[in-house]
Amino acid sequence: MAIDSGSGLANATIQQRLVPVRLFYDYLMEEGLRESNPVGRGRYTPGRRRGGHQRGLVPRMTKLPWIPTEQQWRDILGVAAEEPIRNRVMLALAYDAALRREELCSLCTDDLDPAHRTLRVRAETTKNRLERVVPYSAPTGVLLSGYLAHRATISRARGPLFLSESRRNHAQPLSLWTWSKVIRRIALAAGIPRFATHTTRHLCLTDLARMGWELHAIATFAGHRSTESTLAYINLSGRDLAEKLTKGMEQIHSWRIDMLARLGGQATGAASR
């Protein structure tokens, strides 16, 4: 079975599950029960043959994040339009502010600044413990205003922004798993099963790269500690490739364009005769 066949475990999952196996064999080596570790680390070792590269047990694959096409995004929004206002504003904020699932579900009423249309992502809710302040759009602000009025009918207490409306957990903070189920339901209804809670973050950061945002600006917006994570979205956007292609067409292949233009003119002339 090929690792990228779509069946079985993902490459990243396999790599994670190999870690305890590798550590177990490290322990056996320390105890003198084995002379070598059969689970390679895939590291560079100077002096080894073939360039000093030691292959891991399973090749490590790095894939670009999946994002929906324009039509798929419209299909998602079409289904989401029928959702309750809480789910609609959560989806809008998840895209607008490129929020991770935990960051979104952990938002509190005190994190909002409607006057400046910004929200604070607290350090304790982020993946790398970096606090940041991010903006959201005017349409999302309108949705948020409507939701705050609706939330007041559930609870007027300050605290978690998004509350459960079920009988079992009424007025309790919305859990991560509930939000995942909401997105899963929307994805299946739209016929796009690959759409997940993290997809909106991928799409937002890719759109920022498409708009020409600089690498460090995108990294700050996303809350990335290293720009290496941000580079994936720059590559996915194709921004640099598009710019190079445009320059190349202008400088190297301009004569081809001229010839095509003449060909088009000749075809028009022939048709008129």
Among the four given CATH numbers 1.10.3720.10, 2.60.40.650, 1.10.443.10, 2.40.160.60, the one describing domain 70-195:
1.10.443.10
pLDDT of residue 266: 58
Q: In the chain, which stretches have pLDDT less than 70?
A: 1-7, 42-55, 239-259, 263-273
Enumerate the domain spans of the chain: 1-63, 70-195
Instruction: List pLDDT tens digits, range 1-45.
Output: 455 555 677 777 888 888 899 899 999 999 999 998 888 776 555
pLDDT tens-digit series, residues 187-207: 999 999 999 999 999 999 989
**Cα separation, 56 vs 79, whole angstroms:** 43
- Counting Cα atoms < 13 Å in the Cβ hemisphere of 78 gives 11
Q: What pLDDT, on a 0 to 100 scale, did the predictor assign at position 46?
A: 53
Please name the residues in contact with 221: beta carbons below 8 A apart, sequence gap of 6 or more.
98, 132, 134, 205, 208, 213
pTM to 2 decimal places: 0.73
